[in-house]
Amino acid sequence: MNETNASSLPGIPFAVLFGLLLALFVAGFVHGALHQVLGILVGSVLLFALFAFLCKGFFQVQPNQGMVLLLFGRYAGTARETGLRWTNPFFTRRAVSLRVRNFESSKLKVNDADGNPIEIAAVIVWQVVDTAEAVFQVDDYENYVHIQSESALRQMAQSYPYDSHEDGKPSLRSHGDEITVHLCEQIQERLGKAGVKVLEARISHLAYAQEIAQAMLQRQQAGAIIAARTRIVEGAVSMVQMALDQLSRQHIVELDEERRAAMVSNLLVVLCGERGTQPVLNTGTLYQG
């Protein structure tokens, strides 16, 4: 069921008309009471009953609000024109907010694609765009938005690892934009049938579960140490190669293979060591005899 425009009229002209009817009722009642004319009194009472019944047709529509109209249980349309309106008094009405709303899901504990337990939560920004679907397709569209959003978040979290160990493979921690797009699509697929449009969905909380947080932290630290050591060794080898090339090119000293190996060893110790080095004076020779 899709939203249609309901037939309603501006309320101000009808308010003026009903004011005249009220004045006519008062004048007729007073005249009938003073002259004791039964017909005028009965007509005035009937006119007042009609006036009271027609007043039920007045309703107000606030900005960013839709008024769903029903006629004996049948959908008659939605009024979105703001201000005082008047329609069929037999219509029953239900106001639906069209404002942009958001909520933060609870922290869900799920397993990521690698099977690691993680905690994840998201902020979802949404808006009702079809009042008929929001009212008639689901029982409570606000509760429906909350439950389906958390279900989509849970399924999305199970599709990606928390942290990628392969270059180019998306993960929850490193590919925020891609994860956001996927999450929005998953939520919109569920909420579309309720007349709701998802404007934005972003992860607000992401962490390893309590029971494995310390172990994962140690693994991350180990990975960082290995990466740093690899970078240091690469730089040290490059500097040693540059030093040997400079010595050879400028004919500063001639090194045979044994002395070259000793020099490479000393330079690598100096460049790769964590502590400051202390010079050692060599008073002997590398050769025996």
Q: What integer pLDDT is reported at residue 229 of this predicted model?
A: 74
Domain of residue 250, residue span: 214-272
Between CA 214 and CA 224 the distance in angstroms is 15
Domain containing 187 — which CATH number? 3.30.479.30
Task: Say how far residue 177 (Cα) sits from the centre of its chain.
Answer: 12
Between CA 202 and CA 149 the distance in angstroms is 11
Is residue 44 one of the residues assigned to a domain? yes
Q: What is the pTM of this model?
A: 0.68
* Among 240, 229, 228, CA closest to 267: 240
Q: Are 156 and 111 in a shared domain?
A: yes
| Beta bridge partners of residue 219, listed in sequence order | none
* Whole-Å CA distances, 255 to 114, 190, 240, 244: 53, 74, 14, 9
Which of 165, 184, 210 is at the close of a domain?
210
Q: What integer pLDDT is reported at residue 45 of this predicted model?
A: 73
Q: Are 105 and 206 in a shared domain?
A: yes
Q: Are 106 and 203 in a shared domain?
A: yes
Q: What is the residue whose two structure tokens read 């017909």?
A: 39
Q: What integer pLDDT is reported at residue 232 of this predicted model?
A: 77
Q: Are 122 and 192 in a shared domain?
A: yes
| Beta bridge partners of residue 60, listed in sequence order | 84
- Residue ranges of the chain with per-residue pLDDT less than 70: 29, 31-41, 165-168, 212-224, 251, 253, 255-256, 266, 268, 270-289
Q: Are 133 and 190 in a shared domain?
A: yes
Residues for the chain: how many in total?
289
Is residue 242 one of the residues assigned to a domain? yes
Provide the number of structural domains found in the chain: 3
| CB neighbour burial string for 58-78, b if at least 16 within 10 angstroms, e if fewer | ebebeeebbbbbbeeeebbbb
φ, ψ at 94 (rounded to 5°): -140, 125
User: Do 100 and 88 form a contact (C-beta atoms < 8 A)?
Assistant: no
Q: What integer pLDDT is reported at residue 289 of this predicted model?
A: 47
Task: Say how far residue 161 (Cα) sits from the centre of its chain.
Answer: 20
Q: Are 231 and 156 in a shared domain?
A: no
